Amino acid sequence: MNKNIQLQDLGTKDYKETWEYQEELFKGIVDLKIRNRREELELETPNYFLFVEHPHVYTLGKSGDLSNLLLSEKQLEAKGATFYKINRGGDITYHGPGQIVGYPIIDLENFFTDIHKYLRFLEEAIILTLNEYGIACGRSEGETGVWLGAGTPFARKICAMGVRASRWVTMHGFALNVNADLGYFDNIIPCGIRGKAVTSLNVELGVAKVNEEEVKEKILKHFSNLFEAIIIR
């Protein structure tokens, strides 16, 4: 079992290009697993963790409802945003500058074979990271992601999640609002959930800007501890 995870920080990168790159890494792992089974080999499967920041984009999961996008094609263009239907779970979400997006592309057979546990660990890595900033947060029953004030009239989402898995290989991941322009969320019904707000770390801390590199390091620390993994830079 290979518990090494190769870290790649892609900087700012177009959503579609990143999605294609994810698919390439994902296919490489799946193909290797198929070959191992077919040829009775025990070749190690690699694991990856991508950090990226996307230009303004809205993405709709395979079970999502297009009516949760409140903009026409022309309005999208005017806002400098793009839109894609994609193959992860979940409904609609927004990605853009000031948001830390993480895509673990890992073979869960190197760690544990439990998708539910995988999602809870992703959430936990973010919860522990935010706790370091004095932010009380947690889960909202029946809804993925990380929330502040869950179960109250002031519930607000700070981190969205949506994953795809096949043959125990994962792709897609999480999007944590750190210094995000929350105005872009007004153009959608985030994750298809009406009447609940979205927030960002800088807003909750009452500061103009949070150091995103510092946040990434904290996420990696908690992710590697939870998965008992070694991050290879």
> What is residue 195's predicted lDDT score, i.e. its pLDDT?
59
DSSP 113: S
Q: Which tens digit of pLDDT belongs to each residue from 32-59?
A: 999 999 999 999 999 999 999 999 999 8
d(CA 214, CA 218): 6
Q: CB of 149 within 8 A of CB of 204?
A: no
> What is residue 190's predicted lDDT score, i.e. its pLDDT?
64
Average pLDDT, the chain: 93
Q: Among all residues, which ones are annotated catalytic? A: 191
**What is the number of structural domains in the chain?**
1
**98 a known binding residue?**
no
> What is residue 211's predicted lDDT score, i.e. its pLDDT?
98
**129 a known binding residue?**
no
CATH number, domain containing residue 21: 3.30.930.10
> What is residue 91's predicted lDDT score, i.e. its pLDDT?
80
CB neighbourhood size of 147 (10 A): 23
Burial class (CB within 10 angstroms; exposed 0-12, middle 13-18, buried 19+) of 160: buried
Q: Which domain holds residue 188?
A: 4-231
d(CA 105, CA 170): 5
**89 a known binding residue?**
yes
> First and final CA of the chain: distance in angstroms?
19
